[in-house]
Amino acid sequence: MSAPPQAQGPRRVDAAALDRFCRAVLAAAGADAGTVDAATRAMLHGSRLGVDSHGVRLLGHYVAVLQGGRVNPRPAMTWPADGGAVAVLDADNGHGALATFHAVDHAVGRARTTGLAAVAIRNSSHFGPAGAYALAAAEAGMIGLVTCNADSYVRLHGGAERFHGTNPLACAVPVAGGRPWLLDMATSAIPYNRIQLYKSLGRDLPPGTASAAGGIDTVDPAAAQMLAPLGGDFGFKGAGLAGLSEILSAVLTGMRLSFEIAPMAGPDLASPRGLGAFVLVLRPQAFLPEEDFDAGMRRYLAALRRSAARPGEEVLAPGDREWAEADRRAAAGIPIDPDTEAVFRDLVDRFGLAPPAFAAAPDAASAPPGASGAKTG
């Protein structure tokens, strides 16, 4: 892969080419077919919708943990408990995307009969963009709610040390004749990977989102040692939501609490981290007639989008910004930040693969990767 030209804007790659490259890399790293498909599907969800902190910039990390031993490249997932509307999935330390898509598929199938279904996931790993899994439920006509915990990186409200993980919450709801309502948020002010992305881009962090030692606010991504909880001066709300995620994904699954989980970045990339996750799926027709649900969602979203906006502002439903970005990227390609491009070059050399084809010239006028504002864990 040749060195990139000097330019202000990110270079772009067609989504289909990026998908093929990710699959080739993961297969070369020893992952089985299910892991290759699930991990690529999750990363491309992030990159297509503008959640670049949880998109293809994770590819190098996933190769490192698959080959290092932290993540089982060929897991044998089992169901220690499975009855009625409740199931427990043991992921055998496999990739978090494989485990969570598997859990969603199981819950969707069960909810067709029971009306709702929940799956607690044990012995999992980093799963990337939480919205990918909630969206899978919505695409099957269900409401999907997904959460997981992560290694401790977020201070409490008023706190001076790391306590919770970024602990994302995602929910997706089907909308007849339209794209799903899609909420995908970290319970921290920003996700951890946003710090790494902004380092690569040479950008300051938004004020009030990260802290240096002692909980002192900083906008310098190189100085950030912890994240702030969502909510600014009302960060107790974000800390409370993080606690909800912790209970569902760690306490309920019997897995490690955030402050007991080894750091995502290492140095130990050989030992499984024991992450938990939680999936809840609801079939709307179990509660009311389908036409009533569809009409209610249409009425709600129409009123929301017509709601008066402040000067210079725009009122959007959750997911509207991401779907618009997905349309832009479908036409222009997916932007790749400089650090990720360097990782791609290394992977090409290491595995002897063909690199994804970049656009002939950088798009200097485009927004930087990660500008959509989506937050995941």
Q: List the chain domain ranges.
A: 1-68+320-360, 75-188+231-287, 192-228
Is the CA virtual torsion 313, 314, 318, 324 positive or negative?
Answer: negative
pLDDT for position 369: 47
* Fold of the 75-188+231-287 domain: Ribosomal Protein S8; Chain: A, domain 1 (3.30.1370)
For domain 192-228, give the CATH number.
Answer: 3.30.60.50
Please state, in angstroms and rounded to a whole number, the distance separating the CA atoms of residues 11 and 53.
Answer: 16
1-68+320-360 matches 192-228 in fold: no
Please state, in angstroms and rounded to a whole number, the distance separating the CA atoms of residues 297 and 175.
Answer: 7
pLDDT for position 360: 61
pLDDT for position 10: 77
According to DSSP, the residues that pair with 162 across neighbouring strands are: 155
Burial degree of 255 (CB within 10 A; 0-12, 13-18, 19+): buried
Q: At 328, which helix (H) or strand (E)? A: helix 320-332
- Peptide bond connecting 267 to the previous residue in cis, omega within 30 degrees of 0: yes
pLDDT for position 196: 83
For domain 1-68+320-360, give the CATH number.
Answer: 1.10.1530.10
Half-sphere exposure of 327 (CA within 13 A, CB side): 6
Summarize pLDDT for 129-160 with one digit per residue, the tens. 999 999 999 999 999 999 999 999 999 999 99
The Cα-based distances of 51 to 45, 162, 269, 292 in angstroms read: 8, 24, 25, 33
Structure token pair of residue 73: 């490249």
Summarize pLDDT for 203-240 with one digit per residue, the tens. 999 999 999 999 999 999 999 999 999 998 899 999 99
Question: pLDDT below 50 — which residues of the chain?
Answer: 1-7, 362-377
